[in-house]
Structure 1
Amino acid sequence: MTLKRTLLAAAAILFAAQAGAHQVWLERDGQTVRAYFGEPVENLRERTGGLLDRISGPRAFAADPQASLPIERRADHLEIAAPAGSADIRLVEQSLAPFGRQGSPDRTKGVLLAREGRSETRAAMDLELVPVVAGGNEFILTLRGQPLPRTEVTLVAPPRWQRSLRTDANGRVTFETPWAGRYVAEAIHTEEQAGGSGEGAYTRLRLVSTLSFTVQDGIAWTQR
């Protein structure tokens, strides 16, 4: 392999690794929902023409998973038009290319999942944090509808304070929300599940799911 090809291959691996470490989260403003790709704790939001382009086949929906919502690409986010009166909005991105060497036993397919809101006490995605009661701070982490115990969940609070928690034996976790503003929680589940073919073949599936919601009452905090 020539030096140029070696450098290009190394750059591609680094690019994939950076994208694999990121998450998608949703921020709602009335009937507009914005999907960001990056790291909420660092306020890092990738842009069109860069890593945001990796989110190439997202699907968003409200109450009906089969009724896709329109998505428009903006400079640093994807914009979803939420139907009037809709409660929680979800986004699924399954089109990411696998990362890791082709043919290696750890080649991984990433799936990004995001939910905005805690009004619905039901799961509609493969990996999802579901409130026990609408608007509450206790959640069940579900994997294909079943509680997922002993799994790490990371919560980012409005002042970009971050805390790692674990679900209990019943998949439950409780968040403390002392600040007013938006919270983003992330859960990751990796499993041995082969699929795809050719360059798209993989041996592992990595689900990255976020839940974002806002708290109206609490300690005031202004983003700097």
Structure 2
Amino acid sequence: MKRILIILSVLSFITAGSLSAHALWIETFGPAKKGEKQAVKVFWGEFGDNQHDAADKWFSDMSDFKLFITSPDGKKIQLATTAGTDHHLAEFTPEEDGVYLLTVSHEPKDLAGTTRLQYNSVATVNIGKSGKGNQPGFNEGQLKIWADASKLYKVNKPLSLDVLLKGEQAEKVHVEIFSPSGWKRDLRSDSKGNVVFSPIWAGRYQAEAAVFSEEAGEHNGKPYKAVRRVGTYTFDVAR
């Protein structure tokens, strides 16, 4: 009996560990123009390793996520998605200048061992030069990474990111920065919840924050002892 319990404990650890690097993220495709249809893709896997899990093999009920778009005037609606080979696809047509916010916040029904999981993802689409809609409050995720989405991020220029946990600036949060070249940098948010780095290469980046906390409760009839929240922000850097 003891051997069976040990095996189950090891399997639970492996399950939790295999998910620790996985995350959900959103990608948008520019340049975007008002009145023209824009594509949005949602992935599950490991951005830094260029791993995109097949859409029909996502963990638990991760494929049941809900994708929302918030327009510059603050109107939030859910976008319909369709499954592709390694992603889920959505489309929308921007009708005004400003910052459009794409967000997902999803808790899978299954636990990772005794840990409850939550995934929060964000990406943006900029139309014109207006900063309208560029507000962190429009993202309702519990753990989120925020940057000034109205700015153009450039190579070798400092890029500032804010980490917010339940609406408050969060310090000492581990943030990983993944570059298009495979380069990764590990950072910790300061007392104001801020991290700064200078991108070296042009292309698509991802910032991923993770917070693990001891919180006991019950999720879908199963007890848990901790909660792991993950937040991702995917963005492009120009030369």
TM tier relative to shorter chain = 0.7 to 0.9
Report the Cα distance in structure 1 between the residues aligned to 2:109 and 2:194, rounded to whole angstroms: 29
Q: Does the 8 A contact of 1:116 with 1:213 survive in 2?
A: yes
Q: 2: CA distance between counterparts of 1:12 and 1:202?
A: 12
Map residues 62-101 of structure 1 onto 2, 5 A cutoff.
62-63=69-70, 67-85=77-95, 87-100=100-113
Kindly indicate whether residue 117 of structure 2 is the aligned counterpart of residue 110 of structure 1. Answer: yes
* Residue of structure 2 equivalent to 1:221: none
Q: Which amino acid aligns with 1:23?
A: A
Given candidates 130, 135, 143, the residue that maps to 1:121 is: 135
Residue 160, structure 1, aligned to residue 173, structure 2: no
Shift of 1:66: 5.6
Deviation at 1:49, TM superposition (A): 3.3
Q: Which runs of 5+ in 1 are unaligned?
A: 101-106, 219-224
1:201 is displaced (CA, Å) by: 2.5
Aligned-residue offset at 1:62: 1.5
The amino acid across from 1:173 in the alignment is V
CA distance in 2, matches of 1:76, 1:133: 27
Identity %: 24
CA RMSD after TM alignment: 2.9
Q: Does 1:213 align with 2:235?
A: yes
Shift of 1:81: 2.2
Rounded Cα–Cα distance in structure 2 between residues aligned with 1:82 and 1:205: 33
The within-5 A match list for 1:1-224 is 14-15=14-15, 17-30=17-30, 31-51=38-58, 54-63=61-70, 67-85=77-95, 87-100=100-113, 107-117=114-124, 120-123=134-137, 124=139, 125-132=141-148, 134-135=150-151, 137-197=159-219, 199-216=221-238, 218=239
TM-score, length basis structure 2 = 0.75
Q: CA deviation at 1:16?
A: 5.4
TM-score, with length taken from structure 1: 0.80
Q: Is there any run of 5+ residues in structure 2 with no aligned partner, and where?
A: 31-37, 127-133, 154-158
Runs of 4+ in 1 over 6 A off after TM superposition: 6-13
Partner of 2:35: none
Give the partner amino acid of 1:202: Y
Question: Residues of 1 paired with 2:162 and 2:77: CA distance?
Answer: 25
